[in-house]
Chain A
Amino acid sequence: MDGTEDITATADRRAWMGLLARARPDALAACAAALGEMPQADWLRPPETGAVMVRGRMGGTGAPFNLGEMTVTRCALRLATGEVGHACVQGRDRAHARRAALCDALLQGGRADEVRRVVLDPLAGAEADRRASRAGKAAATKVDFFTLARGED
């Protein structure tokens, strides 16, 4: 594998891990159910809920500061076929973290296309709809200024 492929593979994995983490737990559960029986996996790190310190930047662009924490749940597992899946997802839902890690592992193996079709595509679609819906509502509250009358004299 050359360097470019490596970068693309990493970008690809970052994208799906992000999508799985951002997904609503019930939405991921529904998609994962459509995959049928999940493969057996061994825990490398059983699900653990903890806190991540979220940072901001002074003035939005300056030096970092600590804003506050958020809850996350992380886990890691290995499929019988050897692929290792990781997840670190917002919230305290262990089942969500486990499903995200299973999908991450499956996406590295022979069932990748199926997981993309059954899990990633619908989640990406739902997310795009959710974002478009909010953006559309925000757009409707954008002010259109117009000048009523200008005092010229």
Chain B
Amino acid sequence: MYVAVKGGERAIDNAHRWLAEERRGDAEVPELGVAQIREQMSLAVNRVMAEGSLYDPDLAALAIKQARGDLIEAIFLVRAYRTTLPRIGASEPVDTGAMACDRRISATFKDAPGGQVLGPTFDYTHRLLDFALAAEDVPPPEPAATAQASGTPMPRITATLGRDGLIQQEPASDETPTDMTRTPMEFPADRALRLQALARGDEGFVLGMAYSTQRGYGRNHPFVGELRIGTVAVEMELPELGFAVEIGEIVVTECETVNQFAGSRTEPAQFTRGYGLSFGQTERKAISMALVDRALRWQELGEEDTGAPAQDAEFVLAHADNIQATGFLEHIKLPHYVDFQSELELVRRLRREAEAAAGPARQEAAE
């Protein structure tokens, strides 16, 4: 039974006023602008777009400001906003092969055609705090070095392996994928649904699941065949025109893993693959996604179910969403006075009954 209790309005209003003041912090310190967050906290913005499942850097930056830097709260704000938007359509699948790459590396082939392009990476930094950045008037950084772009194409590593039949093919299709934002998730979930859920899943959760496969819980021996970060065009057919036009461009991170073989008496041994794709420069997420995608494919690849959590689609997908998780988790801090009253009653009654039963016995023992 729910009982409505009133009386918290003034406290709530005042809590919100104080929240606004705390959000602003010390008024002596200049206020942070949304553009500053978008430009200088861009990896936080990318994470909010990826897990908020809405590509809009300005909105993500605003959400981070409003949420005082709590990224899950910011993702919540973006998710709530997206529910107010009419769905205008679905894009053509983006062509990541045609990506204008800022970064493109392969851990499997040193001399990959197109080369190893590091891009603006934290890799190879020493992870020492740079106190120079703490100075008041930091001079602008030296401009990035430039070189003549060779224009050499960067073919997919998996295409190179695929030519010799050394890796599973990914057969193209134009099937319309099920959309978990339109129809509730059902199990068993096909791979399209799994990838959608992982793409918007919590980075920490997906990372933990991926790590568990590396430590032996559903091991699948991944190599990062290729990791690319860059800009892709988004094309959509406009029904009133009857042809597709580019409606914008987005930055995405793509990871293709090359994993240990599947093969049988009739089929020669072949590498298998996992796939990760996420909005923005989010490579930890994309690599994690690829490992978990691969682990979830055990059935289709005829592998053994070792009981590893990362092989359990229902476990992974039902717990990957940080907004669902935080909603259920955090609701327990809201008033449960009536629920608790009934439990309290029950405990008191049980104790009374136990005491009543024990009472005569104790008396007997004393005699």
Q: Which of B110-118, B202-210, B321-329, B346-354 lies on the face that meets chain A?
A: B110-118
On whether the beta carbons of B97 and A60 are closer than 8 Å, the reply is yes
- In the complex, which residues 51-75 of chain A have their Cβ closer than 8 Å to any Cβ of chain B? 51-72, 74
Q: Which of B23-31, B49-57, B310-318 lies on the face that meets chain A?
A: B49-57
* B191 interfacial contact with A, CB 8 Å: yes
* B41 interfacial contact with A, CB 8 Å: no
- In the complex, which residues 93-143 of chain A have their Cβ closer than 8 Å to any Cβ of chain B? 131-143
Using C-beta atoms within 8 Å of the partner chain, give the interface range for chain A. 35 or more
Closest B residue by C-beta to A69: B54
On chain B, the residues within 8 Å of A134 by CB distance are 100, 102, 231
Given contacts A52-B234, A64-B176, A139-B147, contact A89 B247 (CB under 8 A): yes
| CA distance in complex: A127, B173 (Å) | 32
On chain B, the residues within 8 Å of A64 by CB distance are 93, 173-177, 192
B 242-259 binary contact with A (CB < 8 Å = 1; else 0): 011111111010101000
| CA distance in complex: A88, B156 (Å) | 31
| CA distance in complex: A58, B171 (Å) | 9
Interface Cβ pair total, 8 Å cutoff: 232
On chain A, the residues within 8 Å of B174 by CB distance are 64
Q: Output the residue of A59, A134, A135, A141 with the most chain B CB within 10 A.
A: A59
* B88 interfacial contact with A, CB 8 Å: yes
* A77 interfacial contact with B, CB 8 Å: no
On whether the beta carbons of A14 and B94 are closer than 8 Å, the reply is no
| Nearest CB of B to A42, in Å | 16
On whether the beta carbons of B247 and A52 are closer than 8 Å, the reply is yes
| CA distance in complex: A66, B149 (Å) | 33
Q: Which of B12-20, B134-142, B271-279 lies on the face that meets chain A?
A: B271-279
- In the complex, which residues 1-41 of chain A have their Cβ closer than 8 Å to any Cβ of chain B? 10, 13-14, 17-18, 21-22
On chain A, the residues within 8 Å of B116 by CB distance are 142-143
* A46 interfacial contact with B, CB 8 Å: no
On whether the beta carbons of B279 and A90 are closer than 8 Å, the reply is no
On chain B, the residues within 8 Å of A17 by CB distance are 245-246
| Nearest CB of A to B62, in Å | 11
A→B interface (CB under 8 Å):
10, 13-14, 17-18, 21-22, 48-72, 74, 76, 86, 88-92, 131-143, 145
Between-chain CB contacts (< 8 Å), 7 pairs: A53-B89, A57-B93, A61-B159, A70-B248, A88-B88, A90-B249, A139-B117
Other than the known A92-B59, A136-B147, what 18 A-B pairs have Cβ atoms closer than 8 Å?
A13-B241, A22-B249, A50-B87, A54-B94, A55-B94, A57-B96, A60-B96, A63-B171, A65-B193, A71-B54, A72-B248, A74-B88, A86-B240, A133-B146, A135-B149, A138-B101, A138-B102, A141-B117
